[in-house]
Amino acid sequence: MYHYRHETIVDADIDTTFQWFEHEGSFRRLMPPWEVAEEVSADDSLEVGSRRIFRFPMGPLKMKWIAEHTAYDPPHHFADKMVKGPFWSWNHEHYLSEKDGKTTVVDEVSYQVPFGPLGNFVDRILGGMLVRKRISRMFKARELRLIRDLEQHSKFSNSPRKKILVAGSSGMIGTQLVAFLDTGGHDVWRLVRRETRKGANELFWNPDKGELDAKILEGFDAIIHLGGVGIGDKRWSKKRKSAIRDSRVNSTALLSNAISSLEIKPEVFVLASAIGWYGNRGDSELTENSDQGTGFLPDVCSEWEGAASKAEESGVRTVILRTGIVLTAVGGALGKMLLPFKMGAGGPMGGGRQWMSWISMDDEIYAIHHLIMNQDSVGAYNLTSPAPVTQRTFAKSLGRVLRRPAFAPAPGFAVKLLFGEMGERLVLDSQRVLPERLQSEGFEFLHVDVEQGLRDSLGLWK
């Protein structure tokens, strides 16, 4: 049996800290950001007997982690054990104490590595550090998320909690946004296309068929739309381009029209868009005041944003999120780059002189939170780091973080050959986008340096 202890100090009182853990979203927020995990079910409680179940890949297979809570003494202590998962045993105690308005969270874990005596033998040969190193990384990530989330929530602690509806809640950004908002005490609901689950905060719509009962939108303070088929998932055939456009424009128009028809309207309508609005602009610095670009993506983004006009014209504060490349190890551009870079085959693409405008996942989530809660935020906002980098710089930074060479170039013609127009627009176009409006409102980015953002995303700190 092995033992591990980790201590975290947060600038919040013990009741606030314990309440953060009590929310269902805390389990998702505490999951290491580099781990691909699918939530199966979760009880919204830490009380004895409650369970949280996740499914995650283990090579070609998927394994469940079932955690069952075994002790509950708010606000000082709770505990859970692994009922099923990758370890032979895992018991996790959480102890909270307060001094001078700050809370110390102590995690104590007792665990048994897989495969019993054989697992112990292999781990001892490696100095007992194989599993311990992974656990250390996990708890470092948990520490950072807990500290940062509580700090962000504290900025609007005096504002009333909101009832929030999220479309696109199962996507890369939506999953983290829903969890974060939940830990802040907001009443979060999901607008889903599948059959709703009994007892879950879910409402149904079918934007492909134009189906949405406007009455279900009554009573929400904020409605957020993050949906749309993946832009970088497949080559752009005529059919795919139509799906990219229609999934965004039609669903937004459906929501916007429904919102405008409500007698009691929401305070704010938040709509995802993208920096594709600016098109290929070379070295030009682009702010929210810059002109729209030309081409397929700028046209789609323009129609997408314009589809929200009915809500805006009806007096609802409307916020447009022009998001850049979101750094996450579990998807998006970074997720696709990891395998070749880990194999030492990474490097600059298309010469590497084109600009990449990126943002860390936490900055993305915190920026959206700021725009929801700040009553004066309205219009289009660039959600990108204040320090965009060239693709060559990005490749070198990722190589340093992974400790791999990053000089294997991918010529522009190869990108076009392999990925067609999709690769040309998403990889070779240059967009040097700055978050001028966010910064003017006092929003402070956690990650300005791209290497720092990559290290946090991958859990590879120095």
Give the bridge partners for 72, in sequence order: 78
Q: 183 and 132: one domain?
A: no
3-state SS assignment for residue 352 = coil
Instruction: Name the strand (E) or helix (H) holding 53.
Output: strand 51-58
Q: Is the pLDDT of residue 116 over 70?
A: no
Give the least confident one: 7-16, 39-48, 120-129, 330-339. Answer: 120-129
Task: Quote the pTM value.
Answer: 0.95
The fraction of the chain above a pLDDT of 90, given in percent, is 79
The pLDDT value recorded for residue 37 is 80
Contact indicator for 102, 147 with CB cutoff of 8 Å: no
Q: Is the pLDDT of residue 13 over 80?
A: yes
Q: 331 and 419: one domain?
A: yes
The count of C-alpha atoms lying within 13 angstroms of the C-alpha of 285, restricted to the half-sphere facing its C-beta, is 7
User: Cα separation of 363 and 141, whole Å?
Assistant: 15
The total of structural domains in the chain comes to 2
User: Cα separation of 154 and 20, whole Å?
Assistant: 12
Q: 132 and 192: one domain?
A: no
Contact indicator for 58, 40 with CB cutoff of 8 Å: no
Does 207 sit behind a cis peptide bond, omega within 30 degrees of 0 on the bond before it? no
CB atoms within 10 A of CB 435: 25
Q: 267 and 387: one domain?
A: yes
Give me 70's structure tokens.
């075994």
Q: What is the mean pLDDT of residues 253-279?
A: 97
Q: Is the pLDDT of residue 121 over 70?
A: no
Q: 262 and 138: one domain?
A: no
User: Cα separation of 303 and 287, whole Å?
Assistant: 19
- Describe the crossing of helices 172-183 and 129-154 by its angle, rounded to 10 degrees: 70
The count of C-alpha atoms lying within 13 angstroms of the C-alpha of 49, restricted to the half-sphere facing its C-beta, is 0
CATH of the domain at 80: 3.30.530.20
- Residue 227 identity (one-letter amino acid): G
Q: Is the pLDDT of residue 44 over 80?
A: no
Q: What is the mean pLDDT of residues 167-195?
A: 96
Query: Domain boundary at 117, 137, 154, which?
Result: 154
User: Cα separation of 451 and 321, whole Å?
Assistant: 24
Confidence band, pLDDT 50/70/90 cuts, at residue 117 = low
Q: Is the pLDDT of residue 58 over 80?
A: no
The pLDDT value recorded for residue 222 is 98
Buried residues in 445-461 as b, exposed as e (16+ CB within 10 A): bbbeebbbbbbbbbbee
Q: 58 and 176: one domain?
A: no
Give the least confident one: 58-67, 236-245, 264-273, 391-400. Answer: 58-67
User: Cα separation of 244 and 262, whole Å?
Assistant: 28
Q: 132 and 190: one domain?
A: no
CATH of the domain at 443: 3.40.50.720
Contact indicator for 224, 176 with CB cutoff of 8 Å: no
Q: Is the pLDDT of residue 131 over 90?
A: no
Give the least confident one: 13-22, 196-205, 270-279, 403-412. Answer: 403-412
Q: Is the pLDDT of residue 75 over 60?
A: yes
Give me 58's structure tokens.
């283990």
Q: 122 and 236: one domain?
A: no
Q: Is the pLDDT of residue 118 over 70?
A: no
**Chain segment 143-179, per-residue pLDDT in tens:** 999 999 999 999 999 999 999 999 999 999 999 999 9
Q: 202 and 109: one domain?
A: no
Q: What is the mean pLDDT of residues 117-140?
A: 72
Q: What is the mean pLDDT of residues 37-61?
A: 83
The pLDDT value recorded for residue 122 is 59
Q: 101 and 173: one domain?
A: no
The fraction of the chain above a pLDDT of 70, given in percent, is 96
User: Cα separation of 411 and 402, whole Å?
Assistant: 22
The pLDDT value recorded for residue 127 is 46
The pLDDT value recorded for residue 123 is 59
Residues 6+ apart with CB under 8 A from 256: 269, 307, 308, 309, 310, 311, 312
User: Cα separation of 319 and 332, whole Å?
Assistant: 23
What average pLDDT is seen over the chain?
Answer: 93
Query: Domain boundary at 121, 154, 187, which?
Result: 154
Q: 254 and 375: one domain?
A: yes
Where does residue 136 rank: exposed (0-12), middle (13-18), buried (19+ CB within 10 A)? middle
* Torsion on CA atoms 423, 400, 388, 179, rounded to nearest 10: 80
Longest dimension (CA), the chain: 69
**Chain segment 432-459, per-residue pLDDT in tens:** 999 999 999 999 999 999 999 999 999 9
Q: 6 and 133: one domain?
A: yes
Where does residue 336 rank: exposed (0-12), middle (13-18), buried (19+ CB within 10 A)? exposed
Query: Domain boundary at 154, 189, 208, which?
Result: 154
Contact indicator for 48, 42 with CB cutoff of 8 Å: no
Range of the domain at 10: 2-154
Where does residue 140 rank: exposed (0-12), middle (13-18), buried (19+ CB within 10 A)? middle
The pLDDT value recorded for residue 74 is 97
Q: Is the pLDDT of residue 33 over 70?
A: yes
Of 212 and 199, more confident: 212
The pLDDT value recorded for residue 395 is 95
